[in-house]
Amino acid sequence: MGAGEPSRASGTAAKSITAIWTSLAALLRRGAARIGASRALPASSHPDGRFQWTDCAEFAERLQLGSTTVIDVRGPDEFAGPPGHIPGAVNLPLQALPMRLSELQHLAERPVLLVCHTDQRSAAAAALLSTAGFRRVEVLRGGMQRWRALGLPLGRADGPEPAAAPSSLGHADR
């Protein structure tokens, strides 16, 4: 292999990234109707078994245990503004997720809960993480809209609980 030629490892990584992008694009092409249809399934299942749907009230009880990393895939303005975010959540917008997968690899075997405004972006993020080999991925059914409607705890950038910085992903211990 000469100077400037990519190694086999970088070629494999490029193929993996391409496969992830292809999977995400396919999921998004299926549209909200396909994602919405899976909401009718039991909380712990998804049609292809790649991730779980989790009820807000059930997760609120587990939140106190601190054993799950919560990743909010909304944009920074949504995360910091009303209605707020789940206390302890890390903001990593969906569009940045594919480029930041390497920062999340230490979470591949740990529980990860994804949340957005409703649950459509988090379902797309869950498909992406599952395709990348994450084994314990959950989507918060109904997203922040449902969380807020149930009156569950909120963190706000301007309130007592500071917003988690995306750089904290490398040190997530939840």
What's the structural domain count of the chain?
1
pLDDT score of 171: 41
Residue 77's CB is within 10 A of a number of other CB atoms, namely: 9
d(CA 15, CA 31): 25
Residue 95 lies in a domain: yes
CATH code, 154: 3.40.250.10
Average pLDDT over residues 150-165: 64
The phi and psi torsions of 138 (rounded to 5 degrees) equal -130, 150
Catalytic residue among 56, 116, 129, 144: 116
- Taken in order 127, 17, 79, 154, the sign of the CA dihedral is positive
Listed in sequence order, the residues at least 6 apart from 120 whose beta carbon sits closer than 8 Å to its beta carbon are 32, 35, 36
- The verdict on whether 56 is a catalytic residue reads no
Strands 112-115 and 52-54: unpaired
Question: Range of 43's domain?
Answer: 10-171
Please tell me the pTM assigned to this model: 0.68
pLDDT in tens, 103-154: 999 999 999 999 999 999 999 999 999 999 999 999 999 999 999 999 999 9
Q: Could you tell me if 56 and 150 are in contact, meaning their C-beta atoms sit under 8 angstroms apart?
A: yes
Classify residue 5: in a domain, yes or no: no
Q: What is the pLDDT of residues 64-101, one digit of tens each?
A: 888 999 999 999 999 999 879 999 999 999 999 999 99
